[in-house]
Amino acid sequence: MDKIVIHGGQRLKGEVLISGAKNAALPLLFATLLAPGRHRLANVPQLRDIDTVAELLTTLGATVERADGLFTVGADAIMSIEAPYELVRTMRASVLVLGPLLARHGEARVSLPGGCAIGARPINLHLKGFEAMGAKIVLDHGYVEARAKRLHGARIYFDLPTVGGTENLMMAATLAKGTTILENAACEPEIVDLANALNAMGARISCAGSDTVTIEGVEDLRPLDYAVMPDRIEAGTFMVAAAITRGDVKVTGAVASDLEALIAKLRDAGAEIVEESGGLRVKGPRRIESVNIKTHPHPGFPTDMQAQFMALMTLGQGTSVISENVFENRFMHVCELQRMGADISIEGHSATVKGVKGLTGAPVMATDLRASASLILAGLAADNTTEVARIYHLDRGYERIETKLKQLGADIERVRA
């Protein structure tokens, strides 16, 4: 099993190119199931989760060709409507296959996804929406079985904003009869990217990115030809990397409008951030100021940046309070940061971080995807050597992160454990 070894203390400097967004690419790949023909999707990152989707599409009967970030998916002969547990259990986003299969083929059998390290994310909001659109839902031996001769439009209110639920129902509604309105919908930029791609296929979606999305169903869609948006979470991670090492990094591909909450907090922490052609330039502060954050659905501070920002706050001048309002169990990185000398205490959904003069390298273990990134960031700023184990989490969401950091001057390498 691989691990990341970091010799800390190097100031990052230079330019890094952000890869395509994992959280945008996954639903876009599933959207290929909505229409027959050859679909082209560019700027797809090379990640373990992408591999899982490719395998699942192949299992369903699609053909998948890959070359330098370009995916070509042939979706003419979908021979199966079942997403097996063996694949779905490795990636929760696999449940997004449900909407496209149900919309195009009238039935789907998809394994219920299991829990994950940052807490349960049930799909009951997805299923309630499908039932409102006329689907018959049966839970049988750990599988969701859904059937509908043709879905019909409906007004659907989400009790809580759900990114996956918004994506799943939005895809299904493109081929439903009539108009579907999703209320209290998720507003993340990846939702907008999916809507733009579906509209390019011939869908009629309006107001994506707001809390009320309207989808007018059409009879059929044409093949997808689209490029995935840059990954705002990867961009945010490199922005924090520049700040925590007091570096000077241009993050090419970073979009300011997608990162407003993070930019505001980084500026409060003392970082200088300016828009430059094609991206953002981040200069780290000589003195890191402590800042309070509260995670919220977009446009609030993203939960996927909480662990990385906490790593920065361990070196803040003062005390910061970090409140996690999206997922339970998302402070599992705290114990590992404490091993590096961080002063953090947890009470309920809040962590109090008292800044220390410096972190010390140590062997640490990643517990989830974003925790992996936070430990690498801490290792970049720490004295001596940090070894991050269980980095298979990292490979689910960051494309060649150690290579990109090394190009910026980090002393980092991937080795066999």
CA neighbor of 26 nearest in space, from 76, 117, 93 = 93
Cα–Cα dist 164/112, whole Å: 14
Could you give the 3-state DSSP secondary structure of residue 201?
A: coil
Nearby residues of 241 by Cβ (< 8 Å), 6 or more positions away: 12, 247, 249, 377, 380, 405, 408
Residue 219's CB: how many other CB atoms inside 10 A?
7
What DSSP state is assigned to residue 51? H
Residue 121's CB: how many other CB atoms inside 10 A?
18
Which two tokens mark 39? 């679909």
Cα–Cα dist 259/408, whole Å: 22
DSSP character string of 363-406: EEE--SHHHHHHHHHHHHHSBSEEEEE-TTTGGGT-SSHHHHHH
Nearby residues of 150 by Cβ (< 8 Å), 6 or more positions away: 106, 134, 175, 176, 177
Cα–Cα dist 171/173, whole Å: 6
From the list 116, 187, 207, 335, the catalytic residue is: 116
**Left if phi > 0, otherwise alpha if psi is -120 to 50, otherwise beta: which for 290?**
beta
Residue 324's CB: how many other CB atoms inside 10 A?
23
116 is catalytic: yes
Phi, psi of 10 (to 5 degrees): -90, 135
CA neighbor of 193 nearest in space, from 286, 121, 298 = 298
Beta bridge partners of 206: 214
Cα–Cα dist 257/243, whole Å: 19
Catalytic residues: 116
